[in-house]
Chain A
């Protein structure tokens, strides 16, 4: 087993560990906000490390570039969805008529 293979395996293992942590966090954390935290942080680090392992193993530059794009968009998508879900959670928590969010909601 060459040195590159070892690096690939270590990265792969670390990525899988983060995936597992993300799933575990989603399962075990007590409230929505902390579950969201587990989802976005651990999951994207997991995908990032797995993608890095795949890029090094793949060898070709074209493949590595594609993998980098996959990760880039996954991070952007995760950032967006976590913002939206957090906002949704906050809107849901107090009753909607508690006017916590009144300044920006044009309550037509």
Chain B
């Protein structure tokens, strides 16, 4: 099989999926809520990377719109998370 550059991009997509899986191991282990959200964030960035790479491999610019939406909304879950319990007098949740 002759390796074209597009194939390398598909291979890169597979590699990125594996890094996402590695990040999710941290999400599984925790220990705290911040780690879990961080890992979800990294998984999101990995998925954006996959969308960019697949878009390049298939030459489809619409894939980049998916990546763009992903980056625009990437911070929203983190923003919702940090406001959740960071108020004085609220119970601490790091007993997990």
Which A residues fall within an 8 A CB radius of B?
5, 8-9, 12, 15-16, 19-20, 22-24, 26-27, 32, 35-36, 39, 43-44, 46-47, 50-51, 53-54, 57-58, 60, 62-63, 66-67, 69-70, 73-74, 77-78, 80-81, 84-85, 87-89, 91-92, 95-97, 105, 107
Q: Is the CB of A69 within 8 A of B78?
A: no
Contact of B12 among A16, A84, A92 (CB under 8 A): A16
Instruction: State how many angstroms separate the Cβ of B42 from the closest Cβ of chain A.
Output: 5
Instruction: State how many angstroms separate the Cβ of A3 from the closest Cβ of chain B.
Output: 12
- Which residues in chain B, 61-96, are within 8 Å of chain A measured between CB atoms? 61, 64-65, 67-68, 71-72, 74-75, 78-79, 81-82, 86-90, 92, 94
Cβ contacts under 8 Å, A20 to chain B: 15, 19, 22
Q: Which residue of B lies closest to A85 (CB)?
A: B34
Cα distance A81–B81 in the bound complex, in angstroms: 10
Interface residues of B: mostly helix, strand, loop or mixed? helix
Instruction: State how many angstroms separate the Cβ of A34 from the closest Cβ of chain B.
Output: 11
Q: Is the CB of B8 within 8 A of A9?
A: yes
Q: Is the CB of B38 within 8 A of A92?
A: no
Cβ contacts under 8 Å, B48 to chain A: 47, 70, 74
Instruction: State how many angstroms separate the Cβ of A13 from the closest Cβ of chain B.
Output: 8
Cβ contacts under 8 Å, A88 to chain B: 34, 81-82, 86
Instruction: State how many angstroms separate the Cβ of A100 from the closest Cβ of chain B.
Output: 11
Q: Is the CB of A85 within 8 A of B75?
A: no
